[in-house]
């Protein structure tokens, strides 16, 4: 038995301003005994880090998790070419949702859960990437079949 104190740090890179998130730390000792610690809640405040000044922002992906389809919502602040692509966690392209010129405004594109060759994508974590010729933003989405 040890009484060593260990500090843990976790950074959640996919949060929305004003949202409340709940986290729980669990640890497993060398005998395989799991201990679940108290749930903590965090309210996110501050400036929206998903906004790229002068170009676009990734607003939300909903529902997430999803089955059978999800919607990617984004805002374009000035006319630009926008690509929205889906990748698996190994970085392989799964589907191209759009690759067009967008004027200033709010837009939605839908992913129907199919790969670029029309096959149903398996359950799992996917990365949605929105980009123009200068920058990109990525968020994860979960397909739960």
The total of structural domains in the chain comes to 1
Which tokens go with 10? 């976790």
Report the 10 Å Cβ neighbour count for 64. 17
65-105 pLDDT per residue, tens: 999 999 999 999 888 999 999 999 888 999 999 999 999 89
Task: Answer yes or no: is 77 within a domain.
Answer: yes
109-133 pLDDT per residue, tens: 999 999 999 999 999 999 999 998 8
Task: Answer yes or no: is 83 within a domain.
Answer: yes
Task: Answer yes or no: is 6 within a domain.
Answer: no
Task: Answer yes or no: is 46 within a domain.
Answer: no
Domain residues for 139?
A: 56-143
Task: Answer yes or no: is 3 within a domain.
Answer: no
Cα–Cα nearest to 97, from 75, 79, 73, 120: 73
Q: What is the pTM of this model?
A: 0.63
Residue 55's pLDDT band (boundaries 50, 70, 90)?
confident
* Range with top average pLDDT, 14-28, 47-61, 127-141: 127-141
Task: Answer yes or no: is 48 within a domain.
Answer: no
The enclosing domain of 138 has a CATH number of 2.60.40.4070
Task: Answer yes or no: is 66 within a domain.
Answer: yes
Cα–Cα nearest to 56, from 107, 16, 109: 107
Identify the pLDDT of residue 45: 63
Task: Answer yes or no: is 16 within a domain.
Answer: no
Residue, of 68 and 7, whose pLDDT is higher = 68
Residue, of 124 and 2, whose pLDDT is higher = 124
Identify the pLDDT of residue 62: 93
């Amino acid at each position: 038995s040890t009484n060593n104190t260990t500090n843990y740090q976790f950074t959640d890179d996919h949060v929305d301003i004003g949202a409340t998130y709940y986290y729980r730390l669990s640890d497993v000792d060398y005998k395989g005994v799991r201990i679940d610690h108290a749930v903590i809640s965090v309210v996110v405040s501050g400036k929206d880090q998903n906004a790229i000044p002068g170009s676009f922002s990734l607003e939300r992906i909903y529902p997430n998790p999803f089955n059978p389809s999800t919607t990617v919502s984004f805002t374009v602040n000035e006319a630009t070419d926008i690509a929205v692509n889906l990748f698996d966690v190994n970085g392989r392209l799964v589907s191209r949702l759009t690759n067009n010129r967008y004027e200033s405004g709010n837009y939605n594109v839908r992913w129907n859960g199919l790969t670029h060759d029309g096959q149903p994508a398996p359950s799992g974590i996917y990365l949605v990437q929105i980009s123009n010729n200068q920058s990109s933003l990525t968020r994860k989405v979960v397909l739960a079949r």
